[in-house]
Amino acid sequence: MERLKQALSAAGIAYKENEPLSAHCTFRIGGPADVFILPENEAQLCAAIKLAKEVNIKYYLLGNGSNILFEDAGYRGAVINVSAMKSAIGILENICFPGKDPSLTYDAVIVGADKMLSSLCMTALENSLTGLEFAYGIPGTVGGAVYMNAGAYGGEMKDVLVSVRYLTAEGESVEVPAEQLDLSYRHSIFEENGGCILSAKFHLARGNAADIRSRMDDLMARRKDKQPLDKPSAGSTFQRPVGNYASFLIDQCGLKGASVGDAQVSVKHAGFVVNTGKATCRDVLELCDFVKQTVLEKTGYQLELEPVIVGDPAKPANMPEQEAVEK
Which of the residues are catalytic?
A: 186, 236, 306
Contact status, residue 71 vs residue 311, Cβ threshold 8 Å: yes
Task: Tell me whether strands 196-206 and 173-177 are parallel, antiparallel or unpaired.
Answer: unpaired
Concatenated DSSP letters for 255-293? Answer: -TT-EETTEEE-SS-TT-EEESSS--HHHHHHHHHHHHH
3-state secondary structure of 179: helix
List C-alpha distances in Å: 324 to 71, 122, 196, 245, 246.
20, 41, 38, 22, 18
Determine the Cα–Cα distance for residues 295 and 206; give it in Å rounded to an integer: 45
Which residue, among 69, 20, 60, 13, has the nearest Cα to 39 in the 3D structure?
Answer: 13
C-alpha distances in Å from residue 41, one per residue of 35, 112, 201? 18, 10, 18
Listed in sequence order, the residues at least 6 apart from 48 whose beta carbon sits closer than 8 Å to its beta carbon are 8, 11, 13, 37, 39, 59, 78, 80
φ and ψ of 102, to 5 deg: -70, -15
